[in-house]
Chains A and B, each alone.
Chain A
Amino acid sequence: MDDPVLAHQEFPILGRAYFLGGRASTSVKRVLSDCGVDAETIRRVSVACYEAEMNVVLHARSGYLSLDVHPDRVVLGIVDRGPGIEDIELAMTPGWSSATEEARALGFGAGMGLPNIKEQADEMRIESTAGEGVRLLLTFYTGGRQDG
């Protein structure tokens, strides 16, 4: 089946670099805007992308973000090398966080990251191996949600 890619880009993410956090997401937003993606989809992708990027910054050593823009959807992949998530169900609980005190003092680590991502994405797949890292795959359908 013909499934053209309007844009493909990859961005590295550095762990613990709190103040660089959000740079990859800001670039993603620009690419989506250049591709003519609708404003509501851009907003949903931006929120989820920022949360996913900050999860790498806060918890992992390093990672990367890949962006694929198709005519009908935006796909984000976020892969990191780090401690991973031992209990994904627990990590999805609003308010639960393993962030450090240092991160919390800066306003991160509210335990809203994964729930915010789930709220914004149409499809979310998360896999983790403890001690290795996390792989997150998010799909957003453009021009309105396709729930279910």
Chain B
Amino acid sequence: MTVAQAAERLGLSVHAADGAIDSAITGAVVSDLLSYVMANGKRGNMWVTIQTHSNLVAVAALGGLSAIVIAGGFEPADDTVARAEEEGIPLLASADAAYTVAGKLWEIGVR
């Protein structure tokens, strides 16, 4: 499963780095604590969070994550979008709660 396929099936909006959207997903991590994601996110994981600030991109880039999904109807900050473009990290968003996004990812086979 690629980031693009998951985005399409969940109806996620794409805010940045759609050029990097064909990378494969290896699973997902759900947390709003950056250190938790640093310690537990695995290479290629999608990251579901309700944080919106630009430091998300540093965590995703350093951890080798495949995409950031901002859940709960929150919008990414402008500098988050800019930094995600810069680092080539796909930045997606959903109106669904983080719990629902995680459930849907599980349902389509992201495990």
Chain A contact patch, size range? 20 to 34
- Name B30-80 residues within 8 Å CB distance of A: 32-36, 38-39, 43, 49, 51, 53-55, 57-59, 61-64, 79
The distance from the CB of B77 to the nearest CB of chain A, in whole angstroms, is 8
Does more than half of chain A's interface fall in helix, strand or loop, or is it mixed? helix
Q: Which of A29, A106, A119 contacts B62 (CB 8 A)?
A: A29
In the bound assembly, the distance between CA atoms of A108 and B35 in angstroms comes to 7
Q: Are A116 and B87 in contact (CB under 8 A)?
A: no
Q: Are A19 and B35 in contact (CB under 8 A)?
A: no
A contact residues around B39 at 8 Å (CB): 47, 112, 116, 119
- Name A108-130 residues within 8 Å CB distance of B: 108, 110, 112-113, 116, 119
User: Which stretch in A20-28, A66-74, A77-85, A132-140 binds the other chain?
Assistant: A20-28
Q: Are B53 and A51 in contact (CB under 8 A)?
A: no
Q: Is A46 an interface residue when CB atoms closer than 8 A count as contact?
A: yes
Q: Is A43 an interface residue when CB atoms closer than 8 A count as contact?
A: yes
Q: Which of A18, A23, A43, A110 contacts B43 (CB 8 A)?
A: A43
Does more than half of chain B's interface fall in helix, strand or loop, or is it mixed? helix
In the bound assembly, the distance between CA atoms of A123 and B89 in angstroms comes to 31
A contact residues around B34 at 8 Å (CB): 54, 106-108, 110
Q: Are A26 and B43 in contact (CB under 8 A)?
A: no
B15-39 interface bits toward A, Cβ cutoff 8 Å, 1 = contact, 0 = none: 0000000000000000011111011
Q: Which of A26, A47, A106 contacts B38 (CB 8 A)?
A: A47
Q: Are B51 and A50 in contact (CB under 8 A)?
A: no
Q: Are A47 and B63 in contact (CB under 8 A)?
A: yes
- Residue on A nearest B87 in the bound complex, by CB: A26
Most chain B beta-carbon neighbours within 10 Å: one of A50, A51, A116: A50
- 5 interchain residue pairs of minimum CB distance: A22-B58, A112-B35, A46-B62, A110-B33, A110-B35
B residues adjacent to A (C-beta < 8 A): 32-36, 38-39, 43, 49, 51, 53-55, 57-59, 61-64, 79, 87
A residues adjacent to B (C-beta < 8 A): 18-19, 21-23, 25-26, 29, 43, 46-47, 49-51, 54, 106-108, 110, 112-113, 116, 119
